[in-house]
Structure 1
Amino acid sequence: MGKELTDLISFATGMDSQVKTCSYIIRFSSFAHNALSPPSVISVSDGPQPKSSEDAYHFISYLPVMGQIYEFDGLKRAPVAHGPYEEKGEGWVAKARDVIEKRIGTYPPGSLHFNLLAVRDDPLPNLQAQIETAQASGQELVAADLVFRLSQEKEKRARWDFENSLRRHNHLGLIHALLVELAKKGQLDAAVTDAKAKMQERLTKARESGQMEED
């Protein structure tokens, strides 16, 4: 665990749920939780207000605790037990998957209410240890393959960092400046027409491939 979660466990020991949610560390966790939310656009206080707000999402965790699968939902007063699981095969993961699939099955087909995330060990230390072992035993081919996998993992993390930086940055100023410059050069109308045509082409291809549901 990182420093913040370690501090949270130490600080919140003995507190009830209401007191915990008022703590500074919980507010820090909330900030981290919402760090990748889309940047807000310009607020127009005098303009018409949207008729409906965006859907609210939150995380629900499923964890093995003392031979049982528990659901941890911040909107519920207490953890929910989903029964025991078998140690053989996939172990608790199979039970958790069954619980999640049953929950997904309660929603209409095609609903986009779920985004599944799995927390696992960081593979970098394990790969590095395997490389050292392979090199020490003279297994050069194995070591080379592991080095390649290690480089792929590092490149993946570099992409994640770049993508997250794009998500956190508000590009509204850049977009506005580009639109103004296009308008000055008399190219804005043509750019809008071209963008609409490309969007229509993408929608048509999505419908033909069955990747988009009709309203």
Structure 2
Amino acid sequence: MESGGDWCLIESDPGVFTQLIKTFGAKGVQVEELWTIDNGIFENLRPVHGLIFLFKYLQHEEPAGPVVTDNRLDKIYFAKQVINNACATQAIISLLLNCAHPDVDIGPELTKLKEFSMSFDPIMRGLSLSNSSTIRTAHNSMSQQVFFEIDPKTASKDDDAYHFVGYMPIDGRLYELDGLRAGPIDHGPIGPGQDWLDVVTPIIRRRINVYTEGEIRFNLMALVSNRKMVYERRLDELLSDTFDGTNSDAVDTDIPNLRMLIEYEDVKMARYEQEMIRRRHNYLPFIIVLLRILAEQNLLVRLYEEAKERAAQKGQKKI
């Protein structure tokens, strides 16, 4: 079996990843971006099923723990990345296929992939994933429209490359799921009563500290239960308690707040869908017509000179 088809680069954005999950057919889960990993950041996002970390790939970086190659691979879904640009989809699929939380329904397509390839070794799992036309089409549907390239160049060894990996707890241990490794990286046990997020936070901090001071090109996202579903569940519980007369104070506090959060999630998902439409839209005809009109009105050269002058002024301010 050979890996088939081209896979595009996709944006590290919670809306893109949430839409990607929906396109796979999975339900009950979404992605939220984290701007910090300070204490308390996860409190309003629980339950958190996994983390997706984007970082600048270092060619000779050693794994931060032992690489699993034993019979644990019979239970852990791990696929070797065998095709370029697929790491974003592989990271999210690895988290979904290892998640046993009742909120998460991975849907028929991912269920079929898992059942078909679970008995394979990691390389064959990677080939099975990359040859899934449904998954590849879903992945490529997240890309921004590119209608022409200017001065294309071949990537060199000095170009920066970025890579997605996943972190999640499985059977009481913390694992890093990196498709460029031979297997999952075992970060050790999660103690009784210990929160796995308290275990993973220092690991991510250490990884960030490997880079030079001033390097800020990282991105961390959390795979969490669908927020609207969580809020509606809490609201139903509070309404039930209030109806029974056991939680009357919630009428003036928690219930209005939950209704506001539910409305916010509806607005957010509508915004994600609108942003996806804009990513896919062909703006080139509009741009050509706009430039033609500006040229006909003798405004194009003047706007160009003004823009060049503003750029020069900005350059002087930086100096």
With normalisation by structure 2, the TM-score equals 0.54
1:187 aligns with 299
Please give the alpha-carbon distance, in whole angstroms, between the structure 2 residues aligned to 1:8 and 1:145. Answer: 40
1:174 aligns with 286
**1:69 Cα offset (Å):** 1.3
Q: How many aligned residue pairs are there? A: 203
Do residues 107 (structure 1) and 224 (structure 2) align? no
Do residues 32 (structure 1) and 144 (structure 2) align? no
**1:101 Cα offset (Å):** 1.3
Higher mean C-alpha displacement, 6-15 vs 71-80: 6-15
Higher mean C-alpha displacement, 3-12 vs 154-163: 3-12
Equivalent AA in structure 2 for residue 78 of structure 1:
G
Please give the alpha-carbon distance, in whole angstroms, between the structure 2 residues aligned to 1:34 and 1:55. Answer: 22
1:9-41: per-residue Cα shift (whole Å, max 9, x none)?
Answer: 122121223333333664543443444333324
8 Å contact 1:20–1:26 — kept in the other structure?
no
8 Å contact 2:177–2:184 — kept in the other structure?
yes
Do residues 162 (structure 1) and 267 (structure 2) align? no
Do residues 119 (structure 1) and 223 (structure 2) align? yes
Q: Residue 58 of structure 1 aligns to a residue in which SS? A: strand
Larger Rg computed on CA atoms:
1
**Structure 1, gaps ≥5 residues long:** 208-213
| Correspondent of 2:236 among 129, 132, 135 | 132
User: Which structure carries more relative contact order (alpha carbon 8 Å, separation 6+)?
Assistant: 2
Q: Residue 120 of structure 1 aligns to a residue in which SS? A: strand
Do residues 50 (structure 1) and 153 (structure 2) align? yes
**1:79 Cα offset (Å):** 0.9
**1:92 Cα offset (Å):** 1.0
Please give the alpha-carbon distance, in whole angstroms, between the structure 2 residues aligned to 1:196 and 1:85. Answer: 57
**1:150 Cα offset (Å):** 0.9
| Correspondent of 2:174 among 69, 72, 75 | 69
**Structure 2, gaps ≥5 residues long:** 1-105
8 Å contact 1:72–1:79 — kept in the other structure?
yes
Quickly say closer, same or farther: Cα 1:69–1:203, change in 2 above 3 A: farther
8 Å contact 1:61–1:71 — kept in the other structure?
yes
Quickly say closer, same or farther: Cα 1:156–1:168, change in 2 above 3 A: same
With normalisation by structure 1, the TM-score equals 0.77
Quickly say closer, same or farther: Cα 1:200–1:96, change in 2 above 3 A: farther
1:92-103 to 2 correspondence within 5 Å? Answer: 92-103=196-207
**1:167 Cα offset (Å):** 2.1
CA RMSD of aligned residues (A): 3.0
Quickly say closer, same or farther: Cα 1:123–1:70, change in 2 above 3 A: same
8 Å contact 2:118–2:125 — kept in the other structure?
no
Quickly say closer, same or farther: Cα 1:133–1:185, change in 2 above 3 A: same
Quickly say closer, same or farther: Cα 1:71–1:34, change in 2 above 3 A: farther
Higher mean C-alpha displacement, 118-127 vs 103-112: 103-112
Please give the alpha-carbon distance, in whole angstroms, between the structure 2 residues aligned to 1:13 and 1:177. Answer: 53
**1:160 Cα offset (Å):** 1.4
8 Å contact 1:69–1:82 — kept in the other structure?
yes
8 Å contact 2:228–2:262 — kept in the other structure?
yes
1:210 aligns with none
Please give the alpha-carbon distance, in whole angstroms, between the structure 2 residues aligned to 1:143 and 1:168. Answer: 38
**1:42 Cα offset (Å):** 1.0
Quickly say closer, same or farther: Cα 1:200–1:164, change in 2 above 3 A: farther
- Aligned-pair identity (%): 30
